[in-house]
Amino acid sequence: MRAFKERQSRQSTAGAGAKAKEAQLAALLERSEAEAAKLRRALLTSQETGDASPEQLHRMELEARRAEEETRRLHNDRASALEEAKALVAAHKAEEEEASQRDERERQEESRELHDAMQAIVHQNLNARQLSYAPPSVFFSGLGTVIGRCGAAPGDDGHLIRLIHDEHTNAVDSQFLFESPNYLITTTSRIEYWAAKDPEAGLGLLGLGQYPKEMRPGVHSRNLRSPADFAPECEAMNAKLRAVGEPPHTAGRFRRPSIVHGANVPQV
């Protein structure tokens, strides 16, 4: 996004400069044409009336020629400025197309890497596990190569919530069982989505009598709560945020971390 904005800023600045130069030359050309026409008319009038000496007529001829030469120069300069502006627009268009193609290649590469990772799970029937370690190369390759691109614009909470819903409930691995290494809960992404979003309604939608429980000895069972249960706490937090001039914490932003982290949030 930053690279796109930088390109847009450079193109806007360059385009404004080219337009200003062309407008300045157009104004100079208009004045020069008027001056050359005025001098040429004065010369013709003096020639017709005979009220000027040969020396004066010669001087007037030279002035008219100089004005006409300046007009031709400005005309050529303006034509060059117009060509330069066209070339600049074409160069910016080519740069944007190249950048778009590069972004598309990166998206396709990320998609292939994600697809290969998913196929490894499908074909090898591996259980996904939370918080598993990976080499530094995974970290530096970016989050998009691990989980894929989000697909929602910044601030579009409604679209983001729909994407989270689809990712957890309608993806190829939404029904795959996995075991969390911290609490030893055997569950699926679809189950954990509803456990975080709406535990009570989720049981009916999932056809379950209860949610999977912790199997690690000594661990207390989780007490699942809906984000709506935290409305008073959220309103108190928003009052503090508004008092210092900050935007309120929306319900969409409350649900996202709960869903992303799974069934262990929220809990008491």
Range of the domain at 56: 2-121
Is residue 86 over pLDDT 70? Answer: yes
**175-216: pLDDT as tens digits:** 888 888 778 888 999 999 999 989 999 999 999 999 998 888
Q: How far apart are CA 246 and CA 230, in angstroms?
A: 20
pTM for the model: 0.42
Q: How far apart are CA 38 and CA 31, in angstroms?
A: 11
Q: How far apart are CA 221 and CA 233, in angstroms?
A: 23
Residue 265: what pLDDT? Answer: 39
3-state secondary structure of 179: strand
Name the pLDDT band for 145 (thresholds 50, 70, 90).
low
Does 56 reside within a domain? Answer: yes
Residue 128: what pLDDT? Answer: 47
Quote the radius of gyration of the chain (alpha carbons, Å).
Answer: 36
Q: What is the number of residues in the chain?
A: 268
Is residue 35 over pLDDT 60? Answer: yes
Q: How far apart are CA 17 and CA 227, in angstroms?
A: 53
Q: How many domains does the chain have?
A: 2
Burial of 252 (0-12, 13-18, 19+ CB in 10 A): middle
Dihedral (CA of 40, 44, 45, 47) sign = positive
Q: Are residues 33 and 100 in the same domain?
A: yes
Is residue 71 over pLDDT 60? Answer: yes
Q: How far apart are CA 208 and CA 192, in angstroms?
A: 12
The more confident residue out of 35 and 1 is 35
Domain boundary among 97, 121, 145: 121
Q: Are residues 167 and 83 in the same domain?
A: no
Does 216 reside within a domain? Answer: yes
**97-136: pLDDT as tens digits:** 888 888 788 878 877 776 676 666 555 544 444 456 667 7
Q: How far apart are CA 164 and CA 256, in angstroms?
A: 8
Residue 125: what pLDDT? Answer: 47
Domain boundary among 101, 121, 141: 121
